[in-house]
């Protein structure tokens, strides 16, 4: 994200992560960050002034664009501020790329593909460079995690124990694939020798989101490089810092100049220029469904470049009547509130069987009130701030719409603290399918709990969404699990677990949650094209 929910959740990302997120007295990383408090007491999320923010134990080293192996200013000379979501204060000013910078980056990537060593390098050598990069990620784990937390607001324990190790794991996974990408020999009905070749597609444009900056970096950059492509990557304007840092490490590992270019900037300028560029051969985007539509339109209006899209979701979390309620409450809580609720696959529609509904709601409320909100650099904190003021206000709008629409506000529903973008863990009961909070992707710490009577009903209602990214099921019945697994129209179904993101497991959506797959073997297909080579045979010994 049957085994207990607490045990099931412990398999998510890395075994230590889930307990770090749940425990208010965790000592898993005690002493890893100088100056960070060694522990905190578990507190409810009562309104209170936040303490002075902890000084991040990391320096911002890279704020320029990375083009052709060098850090350079934007062509316009413009910069934009990246903010600390704990306070709203400026962390650093970052070079603001636009269409001219995208063009410079594409020229570098095209030259590196057409003339440079990367696609011509042996697959084994590409593999060695990716593995050396993974070594450097592990070496700088704490520094990268601190940068990610500072720029994004996610708990440091989550980044340091789960996400950054997963970045290293993903690059090792694709390093292993680099020298195992091969074609076929196809038997023909006529005297011809037929080869099917899998070749790199060329220059890949990639646009990543702000909620998991480095994980999304690895999901896209890893398979593209393993296949021999070159890349122009646009970071989210909210979180540009970590990608620039690790891109420098990738060059330190031996990546040739021009193979990976990183441009920070805004969607309507840099993003649109990348999506519509005539010399970009393939585009990959992760973000909202609304923006995904624009990206696809720009790609089709330019050179018909193929596009893969990983978009929004409104994932059902189905709690059957045979569930252990305490375990189900814990898993459903994790499925929604993990990463401040800023997950495309968050279990944001919690369907609970009517026979256990009231008890579930009361226990879900108690769990939410125990959730530790605060400075994400502080040990034991489970929930940091939302990414920025825009997202903060959007979530509060949805909360108001839930109240106005007639749902029962069980807990939370307001700001936490007096600065930054913190929101109390919020729960609604008596939610109906037609309510805005049950239909729209909130992308925040707001759990909607809906009641259902039987299996057929919950299947129908769970599928009655334009999204189809993921779903969770909690049940002791193998029959229920099997039925729901096949009936739910989503790209991933988690049974008695949630948010299990192993490097080998493909991830992507049905319907308006996008198409194409990230991670696993299937993601390689996004960055390869197929060529058939047919050779006439004279007097063949065999066919």
Residue 52 annotated as catalytic = no
Catalytic residue among 310, 382, 441, 518: 310
Strand, helix or coil at 507?
A: strand
d(CA 384, CA 211): 12
Strand, helix or coil at 105?
A: helix
d(CA 417, CA 45): 9
- Nearest CA to 208 among 196, 217, 199, 198? 217
DSSP category for residue 260: E
d(CA 320, CA 481): 10
Other beta carbons less than 10 A from residue 455's beta carbon: 19
Q: Where are the beta strands (DSSP E) in 187-280?
A: 192-200, 203-207, 230-235, 260-264
Give the Å distances, CA to CA, from 491 to 145, 319, 341, 465, 475.
Answer: 29, 19, 19, 14, 20
Contacts of 84 (CB under 8 A, 6+ apart): 53, 90, 91, 150, 151, 153, 420
How many CA within 13 A on the CB side of residue 528? 19
Burial pattern 126-165, b for ≥16 Cβ within 10 A else e, equals bbbbbbbbbebbeebbbbbbbbbbbbbbbbbbbbbbbbbb
In terms of Cβ atoms closer than 10 Å to its own Cβ (0-12, 13-18, 19+), residue 25 is exposed
What is the Cα 388 distance to its own chain's centre? 17
Edge-to-edge, what's the strand order for the sheet holding 184-186? 184-186, 192-200, 528-536
Are 320 and 332 a contacting pair, CB within 8 Å?
Answer: no
Positive or negative: CA dihedral 390, 393, 397, 399:
positive
Q: Residue 126 is encoded by which pair of tokens?
A: 């590409």
Give the Å distances, CA to CA, from 226 to 108, 117, 403.
Answer: 19, 14, 49
Which residues have a catalytic role annotated? Answer: 310
């Amino acid at each position: 994200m049957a085994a207990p929910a607490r045990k099931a959740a412990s398999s998510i990302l890395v075994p230590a992560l889930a307990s770090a997120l749940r425990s208010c007295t965790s000592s898993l990383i005690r002493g890893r960050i100088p100056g960070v408090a060694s522990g905190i007491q578990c507190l409810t999320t009562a309104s209170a002034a936040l303490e002075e923010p902890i000084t991040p134990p990391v320096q911002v080293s890279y704020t320029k664009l990375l083009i052709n192996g060098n850090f350079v200013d934007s062509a316009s000379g413009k910069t934009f501020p990246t903010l600390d979501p704990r306070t709203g204060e400026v962390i650093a000013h970052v070079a603001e790329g636009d269409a001219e910078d995208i063009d410079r980056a594409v020229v570098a990537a095209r030259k590196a593909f057409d003339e440079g060593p990367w696609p011509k390098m042996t697959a084994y050598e590409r593999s060695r460079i990716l593995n050396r990069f993974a070594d450097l990620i592990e070496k700088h784990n704490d520094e990268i995690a601190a940068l990610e937390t500072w720029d994004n607001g996610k708990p440091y324990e989550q980044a340091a124990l789960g996400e950054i190790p997963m970045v290293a794991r993903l690059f090792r996974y694709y390093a292993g694939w680099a020298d195992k990408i091969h074609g076929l020999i196809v038997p023909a009905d006529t005297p011809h020798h037929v080869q099917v070749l899998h070749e790199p597609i060329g220059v890949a444009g990639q646009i990543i989101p702000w909620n998991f900056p480095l994980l999304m970096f690895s999901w896209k950059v890893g398979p593209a490089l393993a296949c021999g492509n070159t890349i122009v990557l646009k970071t989210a304007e909210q979180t540009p810092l970590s990608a620039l840092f690790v891109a420098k490490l990738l060059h330190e590992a031996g990546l040739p100049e021009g193979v990976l270019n990183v441009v920070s900037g805004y969607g309507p300028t840099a993003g649109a220029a990348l999506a519509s560029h005539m010399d970009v051969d393939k585009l990959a985007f992760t973000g909202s469904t609304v923006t995904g539509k624009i990206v696809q339109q720009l790609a089709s209006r330019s050179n018909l470049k193929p596009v893969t899209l990983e978009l929004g979701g409104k994932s059902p979390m189905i709690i059957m009547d045979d569930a252990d309620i305490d375990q189900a409450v814990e898993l459903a809580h994790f499925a929604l509130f993990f990463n401040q609720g800023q997950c495309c696959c968050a279990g944001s529609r919690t369907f609970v069987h009517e026979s256990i509904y009231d008890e579930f709601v009361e226990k879900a409320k108690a769990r939410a009130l125990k959730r530790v909100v605060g400075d994400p650099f502080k040990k034991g904190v489970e929930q940091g701030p939302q990414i920025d003021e825009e997202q903060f206000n959007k979530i509060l709008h949805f909360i108001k719409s839930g109240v106005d629409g007639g749902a029962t506000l069980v807990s939370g529903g307001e700001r936490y603290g007096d600065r930054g973008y913190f929101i109390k863990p919020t729960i609604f009961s008596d939610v109906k399918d037609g309510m805005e909070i049950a239909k729209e992707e909130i992308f925040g710490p707001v759990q909607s709990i809906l009641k259902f009577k039987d299996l057929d009903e919950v299947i129908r209602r769970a599928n009655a969404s334009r999204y189809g990214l993921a779903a969770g099921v909690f049940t002791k019945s193998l029959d229920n699990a099997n039925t729901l697994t096949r009936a739910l129209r989503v790209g991933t179904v988690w049974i008695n677990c949630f948010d299990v993101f192993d490097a080998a497991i493909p991830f992507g959506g049905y319907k308006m949650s996008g198409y194409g797959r990230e991670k696993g073997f299937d993601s390689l297909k996004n960055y390869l094209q197929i060529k058939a080579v047919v050779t006439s045979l004279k007097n063949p010994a065999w066919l």
